[in-house]
């Protein structure tokens, strides 16, 4: 089933988008927007070929619609939202980011996903001088960063980021980037560097003298094909405590831990079968209340 959007799919709080039992692909204009909402689960959906939507009126509930400006073309746009869980999705080929979380978003878990065929994969944080992102907490766990990815896995501005038990299967520029003093806790990942001798470094920081004091560490990571991670900072316990959400497993188990990353029940990029054109100005989102909480995070209240 292909759901081709004409406008953003605006999701309200306490909702689950659940693709289990169906081969669901979301494509088109705007794609998924989580703006000033909380307690959202997005599970088992292919999200790809998303592009900017035009300005216009977009319905966000059966009894409300509002004026929207042009969207960026992200696969999933998280804007001032909290307690978000994105699990077992396959994301690729979007105009901007596959997942972008900005404007004070926090309490986000991105787990068991498969990312491929994209340039700027994931942005965490709005701008360097946007201080509300300083308390952002994000867990990136058990994902496979696969074919034809260039950079931003993720790219972090401020906040506390736990990158744990992911498989990075090459990159073209770098894997993890940052500016404005984010805390990066990398544990139990496998980093496979590309053949390019100038792109072996996992990390990339904005070129200022300040980065030497940023808390970035690598613990139990496996470096393959010449990959290397440059740590920094003094290793403050309080800083890493905020960037620790789940006990890491050994990186020797990474293939088992990530073997089912992406959409379950079929090929990660299985062929599209049915095409349904959907305008979010005329249709509502299926509501499935779910009591599961994001136990892998420590959301900031």
Enter the tokens of residue 235: 């290793």
The Cα-based distances of 65 to 8, 10, 282 in angstroms read: 12, 10, 10
Residue with token string 């805390």: 183
Dig out the tokens for 124 from the structure.
Answer: 């965490």
Work out the number of other CB atoms within 10 angstroms of the CB of residue 108: 28
* CB-CB contact of 109 with 81 (8 Å): no
Q: Of 152, 158, 190, 205, which is the active-site residue? A: 152
Active site residue 152: yes
The CA R_g of the chain, rounded to the nearest whole Å, is: 18
Bridge partners (DSSP) listed for residue 183: 160
Parallel, antiparallel, or unpaired for β 64-68 and 56-61?
antiparallel
Give the active site residues.
152
């Amino acid at each position: 089933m292909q759901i081709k959007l004409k406008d953003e799919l605006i999701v309200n709080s306490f909702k689950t988008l659940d693709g289990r039992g169906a081969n669901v692909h979301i494509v088109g204009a705007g794609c998924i927007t989580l703006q000033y909402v909380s307690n959202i689960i997005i599970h088992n959906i292919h999200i790809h070929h998303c592009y900017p939507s035009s300005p216009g009126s977009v319905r966000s509930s059966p009894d409300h619609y509002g004026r929207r400006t042009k969207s960026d073309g992200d696969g999933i746009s998280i804007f001032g939202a909290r307690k978000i869980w994105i699990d077992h999705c396959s994301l690729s080929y979007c105009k901007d980011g596959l997942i972008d979380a900005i404007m004070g978003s926090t309490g986000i878990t991105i787990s068991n996903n498969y990312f491929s065929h994209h340039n700027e994969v994931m942005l965490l944080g709005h701008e360097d001088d946007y201080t509300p992102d300083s308390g952002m907490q994000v867990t990136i766990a058990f994902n496979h960063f696969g074919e034809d990815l260039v950079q931003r896995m993720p790219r972090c501005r401020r906040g506390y980021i736990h990158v744990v038990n992911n498989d990075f299967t090459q990159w073209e520029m770098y894997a993890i980037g940052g500016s404005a003093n984010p805390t990066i806790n990398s544990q139990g990942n496998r980093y496979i560097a590309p053949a390019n001798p100038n792109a072996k470094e996992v990390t990339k920081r904005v070129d200022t003298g300040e980065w030497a004091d940023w808390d970035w560490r690598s613990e139990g990571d496996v470096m393959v094909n010449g990959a290397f991670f440059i740590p920094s900072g003094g290793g403050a316990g309080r800083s890493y405590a905020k960037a620790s959400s789940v006990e890491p497993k050994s990186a020797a188990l990474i293939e088992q831990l990530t073997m089912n990353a992406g959409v379950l029940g079929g090929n990660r990029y299985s062929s599209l079968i049915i095409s349904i054109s959907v305008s979010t100005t005329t249709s509502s989102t299926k509501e499935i209340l779910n009591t599961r909480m994001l136990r892998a995070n420590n959301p900031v209240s």
